[in-house]
A = this chain, B = another copy of it.
Amino acid sequence: RPFSRVRMKEGEVMIGTQVAKVIQSINPAFPVGCHVVGRCGWRTHTVSDGTGLRCLLSDWPQDVSMSLALGAIGMPGLTALYGLEEVLGLQAGETLLVNAAAGAVGSIVGQIAKIKGCRVVGSTGSNGKVAFLKELGFDEAFNYKTVNSLEEVLKTASPDGYDCFFENVGGLFSSVAIPQMKEFGRIAVCGSISTYNDTNPQTGPYPHLTMIFKQLKMEGFMVGRWEHKNPESLRRLMAWKKEGKLQCREQVTEGFENMPAAFMGMLQGENIGKAIVKV
């Protein structure tokens, strides 16, 4: 029951990850003054025994915002990297499709794929986001909300089809995109944002025949699977950032009291890049 695994109960602390400063400590691993990343939920102050906390990279540069540890140089960046390298095995010269492409994960997916010498097509939900994707170096970008036919725009953007598809949206988008894959195409299923709020699960045509005839591979994944690689991977992401190869856009909301609005706005696609709340 995947739904019940993500559904929360009323009264629970809302889940969320934060960068926090240690202000009191009897744990030598986390001395006063150091910054940690932790899944503390929506709290201004947290008492922790250290479980699930990690220190920021020890050599985090002074001119890089620590909030990137929640985005491009944190879980979303790692998700993009592992999806491309571990799940898709993306190779130079291949064509990649990514949806929710202006989001925290999607925007990093597209940029890493460009670093790797790929052709990148991005789907997103506003004209402003399309312009942002073009700035990031996406080869093709479109606003799925205003196209006449998603099928046609996918065909036009890559008439030979797609080698890889980084899937963040699910639902109807997937039904249209899967038949546009090339033979032996690979699909990394990272998210399914179009179905998260379903009370009754959406339905669509079964992909089996397409998967057979095109010999497609589709794999779901979660970032924690490659946790042992995180330190090295975060350094790689930081290096790309410092070399100017990774633009790390954030949508910053100020004030703890504005978190619910920021969160709901994120689910409705109002953010460009990682949605951050500054407290």
Contact = CB atoms under 8 A, between A and B. Distances in A.
B221 A218 contact: no
Contact of A206 (B5, B192, B208, B214): B192
A205 B209 contact: no
B218 A217 contact: yes
A3 interface: yes
B171 A206 contact: yes
B225 A215 contact: yes
A279 to B, nearest CB: 30
A84 interface: no
B215 A218 contact: no
Contacts of A209: 2-3, 170, 192, 195
A46 interface: no
Interface string A178-200: 01000000000111100100000
A189 B203 contact: no
Interface of A: 1-3, 5, 167, 170-171, 174, 179, 189-192, 195, 201-206, 208-222, 225
Given A171-B206, A211-B219, 6 more contacts: A174-B206, A189-B212, A190-B212, A202-B206, A204-B206, A215-B221
12 contacts: A170-B208, A170-B209, A189-B211, A189-B212, A192-B209, A195-B206, A195-B209, A202-B205, A210-B220, A211-B219, A212-B222, A215-B219
